[in-house]
């Protein structure tokens, strides 16, 4: 029983960004937002969503300390891809309005949040955006996209062997998928399933005769061949800029846009590779509005969906110049447990929460409180260089320490909004822990600067 369980605002407003899940967190890289400056060259931004506390945070810019180190950090971009392998997130491709497209491979260490450029060899793919990237074993597969130098759509498959950091162009057998961009490619088993995207009726070059194929194309990574498959029954409409993910051996797609139909989608479809059949899925709860260019990441048995763009309510569905970019986030739970359903019932039926345990009352608060803490604290932390702020996560003591730190540095003062949200975090602690921290009835004691600074140096794992 699938159910939309959470809807929050106040996250990063982004489209055509790239994201991956790492444990209980989601790392989001770059993207585009209407009205922002994309002509000035700047570092790509990194946002982290904690799926336990349901809070967003933004990592501070990297201090490069020289031109050589500055090259290790990718510039702000959109239409790129991100994949996770071991403790490293690889960013490849994408473009911006100043530098154009890129084919440099960037690596982001999830432990120390440092960027570096791996030494690579082999046949490097041409710079592009709107491609797909998949991880299978120790290899990353790049397919399609719009190549900048050739000025055309691609249907090549490139493979990066991360054990040798060598690129290779795969000489695939069989009838390849059509040239396209902004499609999806998803690994199920040892096969890559390609769906949708924007193509051109006359081949690889863009002639404004767009087509949106709704056929599934399958690439077998073991034989390096495109497979001849049956025609899937009752497929969804062709589309681009949708999201795709796999769960329990099946492929799911959500949303997207079809210019020929002048239509945005918010439908969810499931594809079974064994029966080669589609089925429309109707989750319970209120889901996202029709949109494209969003991100979807799977964390456990939940899908975290955020960002994207939709037509303004008063405008036509497809007008590129009348779109609104989203800062919202939705959670789709594949198998909500009894506790989650009970929590939702408390909220839906407006039941009295006075006698409820802290975790349930706090669930209500964070489940339906937008991410104002994110924007409020950024203003105070910018001049402080609070070294460990970027590591704040979940229900750890760090939020309380941060409050004390800011209080003693006289950065919070009497800002009741910041104070209220920071103190509300203390609801996540049981009584014994709050007493040990000196939090009585959720009022902060006045600690010395020495105490505060010593607390701020304690490891996050406490």
Cα–Cα dist 194/212, whole Å: 13
Which residue, chain included where needed, has tokens 């490069």? 64
Is the domain of 133 the same as that of 247?
yes
Do the domain assignments include residue 277? yes
Is the domain of 273 the same as that of 148?
yes
| Beta-bridge partners for 332 | 4, 303
The CA–CA distances, whole Å, from 286 to 5, 142, 241, 337, 339 equal: 8, 34, 22, 18, 19
Cα–Cα dist 405/403, whole Å: 5
Do the domain assignments include residue 321? yes
Do the domain assignments include residue 345? no
Is the domain of 329 the same as that of 422?
no
pLDDT at 108: 98
pLDDT at 30: 97
Beta carbons of 206 and 271 less than 8 angstroms apart: no
pLDDT at 239: 98
Do the domain assignments include residue 356? no
Beta carbons of 115 and 106 less than 8 angstroms apart: yes
Check the CA dihedral 200-201-203-209 and report its sign.
negative
Is the domain of 416 the same as that of 324?
no
Choose the final residue of a domain: 338, 358, 387. Answer: 338
Is the domain of 280 the same as that of 412?
no
Is the domain of 37 the same as that of 84?
yes
Is the domain of 320 the same as that of 249?
yes
Is the domain of 329 the same as that of 182?
yes
The tally of domains found in the chain comes to 2
Q: CA-based Rg of the chain, rounded to a whole angstrom?
A: 23
Task: Tell me how long the chain is.
Answer: 462
Is the domain of 16 the same as that of 94?
yes
pLDDT at 187: 98
Domain that includes residue 299, residue range: 3-338
- DSSP annotation string for 1-45: --EEEEEE--S---BS-EEEEETTEEEEE--B-TTS--SS--BPP
> The domain spanning residue 332 has which CATH number?
2.120.10.80
Cα–Cα dist 18/294, whole Å: 9
Choose the final residue of a domain: 338, 363, 394. Answer: 338
pLDDT at 81: 99
pLDDT at 382: 40
Beta carbons of 58 and 379 less than 8 angstroms apart: no
| Each residue's pLDDT expressed in tens, for the chain with a length of 462 residues | 899 999 999 999 999 999 999 999 999 999 999 888 777 789 999 999 999 889 999 999 888 766 656 789 999 999 999 999 999 999 999 999 889 999 999 999 999 999 999 999 999 999 999 999 999 999 999 999 999 999 999 999 999 999 999 999 999 999 999 999 999 999 999 999 999 999 999 999 989 899 999 999 999 999 999 999 988 889 999 999 999 999 999 999 999 999 999 999 999 999 999 999 999 999 999 999 999 999 999 999 999 999 999 998 765 544 455 899 999 999 999 988 777 777 777 777 677 776 777 666 666 666 666 765 344 344 444 443 333 333 333 334 444 445 444 444 444 344 444 444 444 444 433 333 444 344 333 333 333 333 333 333 332 222
Is the domain of 163 the same as that of 307?
yes
Kindly state the tokens that stand for 317: 């569905």
Do the domain assignments include residue 361? no
Cα–Cα dist 75/96, whole Å: 8
Q: Helix 416-425 to helix 398-408 angle, to the nearest 10 degrees?
A: 150
Is the domain of 322 the same as that of 422?
no
Is the domain of 30 the same as that of 163?
yes
Residues with Cβ within 8 Å of residue 454, at least 6 apart in sequence: none
Choose the final residue of a domain: 318, 338, 358. Answer: 338
């Amino acid at each position: 029983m699938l159910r939309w369980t959470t809807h929050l605002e106040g996250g990063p407003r982004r489209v055509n960004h790239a994201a991956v899940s790492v444990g209980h967190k989601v790392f989001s890289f770059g993207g585009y937002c209407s009205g922002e400056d994309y002509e000035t060259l700047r570092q790509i931004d990194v946002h982290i969503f904690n799926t336990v506390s349901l809070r967003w945070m933004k990592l501070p810019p990297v201090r490069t300390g020289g031109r050589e180190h500055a090259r290790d950090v990718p510039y702000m971009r959109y239409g790129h891809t991100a994949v996770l392998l071991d403790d490293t997130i690889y960013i490849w491709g994408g473009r911006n309005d100043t530098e154009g497209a890129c084919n440099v491979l960037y690596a982001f260490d999830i432990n120390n949040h440092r960027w570096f450029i791996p030494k690579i060899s082999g046949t490097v793919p041409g710079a592009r955006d709107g491609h797909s990237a998949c991880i299978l074993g120790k290899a990353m597969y790049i397919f399609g996209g719009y190549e900048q130098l050739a000025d055309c759509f691609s249907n090549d498959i490139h493979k990066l062997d991360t054990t040798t950091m060598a690129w290779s162009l795969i000489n695939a057998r069989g009838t390849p998928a059509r040239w396209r961009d902004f499609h999806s490619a998803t690994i199920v088993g040892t096969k890559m399933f390609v769906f949708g995207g924007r193509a051109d009726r006359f081949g690889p070059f863009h002639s404004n005769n767009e087509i949106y194929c709704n056929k599934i194309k399958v690439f077998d990574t073991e034989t390096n061949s495109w497979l001849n498959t049956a025609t899937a029954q009752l497929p969804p409409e062709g589309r681009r800029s949708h999201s795709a993910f796999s769960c329990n051996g099946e492929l799911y797609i959500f949303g997207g846009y079809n210019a020929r139909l002048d239509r945005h989608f918010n439908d969810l479809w499931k594809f079974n590779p064994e029966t080669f059949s589609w089925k429309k899925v109707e989750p319970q709860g209120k889901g996202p509005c029709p949109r494209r260019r969003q991100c979807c990441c799977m964390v456990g048995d939940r899908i975290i969906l955020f960002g994207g763009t939709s037509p303004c309510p008063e405008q036509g569905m497809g007008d590129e110049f009348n779109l609104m970019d989203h800062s919202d986030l939705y959670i789709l739970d594949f198998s909500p447990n009894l506790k989650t359903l009970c929590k939702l019932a408390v909220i839906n039926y407006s039941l009295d929460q006075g006698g409820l345990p802290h975790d349930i009352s706090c669930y209500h608060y964070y489940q339906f409180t937008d991410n104002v803490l994110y924007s409020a604290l950024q203003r105070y932390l910018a001049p402080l260089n609070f070294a460990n702020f970027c590591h704040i996560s979940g229900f750890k003591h760090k939020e309380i320490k941060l409050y004390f730190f800011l209080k003693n540095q006289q950065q919070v003062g009497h800002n009741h909004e910041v104070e209220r949200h920071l103190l509300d975090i203390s609801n996540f602690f049981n009584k014994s822990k709050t007493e040990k921290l000196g939090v009585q009835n959720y009022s902060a004691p006045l600690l010395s600067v020495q105490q505060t600074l010593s607390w701020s140096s304690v490891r996050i794992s406490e």
